[in-house]
Structure 1
Amino acid sequence: MTEGPAAPEEEAPHCSRKGCRAPAEWVLVWNNPKVHTPERRKTWVACDEHRAYLAEFLNVRGFLLETVPVADFSG
């Protein structure tokens, strides 16, 4: 029996800001109440530079629930 190639290691998450490939440091947990049930949680990840930008985008719309460090996120 021949084994196939080893599976590549999972790529570390990168920032959700369009065009940014920096490593993610933060998880922004959000929910659009017009589309999602209250218990549904969506996530974006952000680098330090874009954390405030992405959080503000979600917060203005009333979507942002919490922001946690990637290392502490268990979702």
Structure 2
Amino acid sequence: MSIFDFAAGSDVASETALCSRKACRAQASWQLLWNNPKIHTPERRKTWLACADHRDWLEDYLQTRGLWKETLPLAGDGGSLEQDI
């Protein structure tokens, strides 16, 4: 799998979505939406994926830095997905 498999607008099944935590290869079940207000427009949302074990850690990491916006379940319906690492 390459980073191009997660291009905006591509249909990626949740079975292939992996957690964004370093060295974790678990299947993701959450999307953490964030942006850096110093470099992104307010409406821009970047996405990290999280497995159940790392959701809290990744969310806390983003919240501590003032970057976190929203956490949503990862859609299992084949909807579009964008991952920014």
TM-score (norm 2): 0.71
Matches within 5 A, 1:29-68: 29-68=33-72
3-state DSSP of counterpart to 1:54: helix
State the Cα distance separating 1:28 from its structure 2 match.
Answer: 0.1
- Is structure 2 residue 55 aligned with structure 1 residue 14? no
Using CA pairs under 8 Å that are at least 6 residues apart, name the structure with larger relative contact order, 1 or 2. 2
The aligned length equals: 66
TM-score (norm 1): 0.80
Which structure 1 residue ranges, 4+ long, deviate > 3 Å from structure 2?
72-75
Tell me the distance in 1 between the aligned counterparts of 2:80 and 2:25.
22
State the Cα distance separating 1:71 from its structure 2 match.
Answer: 1.5
State the Cα distance separating 1:69 from its structure 2 match.
Answer: 0.3
Q: How big is the alpha-carbon RMSD for the aligned residues of Structure 1 and Structure 2? A: 1.9
Tell me the distance in 1 between the aligned counterparts of 2:43 and 2:80.
15
Task: Map Cα deviations across residues 1-35 of structure 1 (whole Å, 9 max, x no partner).
Answer: xxxxxxxxx57110000000000000000010001
Letter in 1 for 2:60: E
